[in-house]
A and B are shown apart, each in its own frame.
Chain A
């Protein structure tokens, strides 16, 4: 009874979707609707309007900057909710975990210490060159966050002497919303619209600097938030 009910539900979900998918233009068709409306203008004008050669970064930070603002607020709110749900010790730090007391193998520690500077340099490179080559703020931020996770396995000595002190960790985690807020106010002052980039042809350097500042904020904030999620889920 239960199995047939599951099968009927899956079939009822799959058949209309397959019928709908069969009616779409084939992937790769240049005359499909996705290529003819707004994307053609973004591809033609995007590089000199936004100052970013990487059109995805230009779309993310300039044309659809409010969506990215919402995204950084979402991941920040997820970290806040995780901190609210998990039980905290008497000092307000994460407690009651099951991961303490497991020694790190010396091979793993050696490899982490050997490769950490290169990973840090690569993460910074991906953040800074994100508007010219594939990459961007969040990609570099996740690389830095993964590096901080590895380092906290090797260097963190428990909750009394963590890898990043708690007070500065909170400010770093809020870096992305703060960067967006700062650039939004700057845009409000310059053009009269929140997060508005100055559109005159002589202000290209300012546009690029605002975009790089946003990318650094997203990168640092994303990395710190991922480290915070890791430390909270691990417990003490």
Chain B
């Protein structure tokens, strides 16, 4: 448990991931499930970015006059690509939700499952 307190950031991001997972599993509305998916995605991005930081580190910009330990630039690049993928998923999912509502008249998952 002491090791978990040292990594309190990582533990908080795991808790956020599980809250997002709970929203996807337990809530019935499709838009709410999409918000839960976004919460899961941002929790993973936060985990990756936090793993790249150093004590007393600054942004990875090596200009003239910048010194000191730099945060690693690789997690930042991966998370930038991930954010773009997340917004693409969200946009396509929202359009599918609009189309489902137009065809079936409801957005609740159990009603959609029974309506066929």
CB of B84 within 8 A of CB of A82, answer no
Are B18 and A75 in contact (CB-based, < 8 A)?
A: no
B21, B53, B73, B75 interface centre (most CB from chain A within 10 Å) = B73
A46 CA to B15 CA, complexed, in Å: 36
Q: Is A78 in contact with B22, judged by CB distance below 8 angstroms?
A: no
In-complex Cβ contact of A47 among B15, B62, B88, B92 (8 A): B62
On chain B, the number of residues with a Cβ less than 8 Å from chain A's Cβ atoms is: 51
Q: How many A-B contacts are there with CB distance less than 8 Å?
A: 147
Chain A 136-152 residues near chain B, CB threshold 8 A = 136, 138
A43 CB–B CB distance under 8 Å: yes
Contact partner of A55 among B9, B26, B60, B96, CB < 8 A?
A: B60
Residue from B9, B17, B88, B89 in contact with A27 in the complex, judged by beta carbons closer than 8 Å: B9
Q: With A35-B72, A55-B61 as given contacts, are A233 and B95 in contact (CB-CB < 8 Å)? A: yes
A84–B26 alpha-carbon span in the complex (Å):
31
- Contact string against B for A residues 54-83, beta-carbon threshold 8 Å, 1 for contact and 0 otherwise: 111011100010011011001101110110
Structural contact, B10 and A21, CB atoms closer than 8 A: yes
| Residue B112 lies at the interface, judged by CB distance under 8 Å to chain A | no
Q: Is the CB of B7 within 8 A of A55?
A: no
- Over the window 22-41 of chain A, the binary record of Cβ atoms lying under 8 Å from chain B Cβ atoms (1 yes, 0 no) is 11101111101011001100
For A9, give its contact among B7, B25, B78 (CB under 8 Å): B25
The answer to whether B81 touches A85 (Cβ under 8 A) is no
Contacts of B10 in A (CB 8 A): 21, 24, 27
A-B CB contact pairs (8 Å), 27 listed: A9-B21, A17-B14, A17-B18, A18-B14, A23-B3, A24-B7, A28-B54, A28-B57, A30-B54, A30-B55, A34-B52, A35-B54, A53-B61, A53-B63, A55-B73, A56-B60, A56-B77, A67-B77, A67-B81, A78-B91, A82-B95, A85-B92, A86-B99, A132-B61, A132-B63, A133-B61, A138-B84
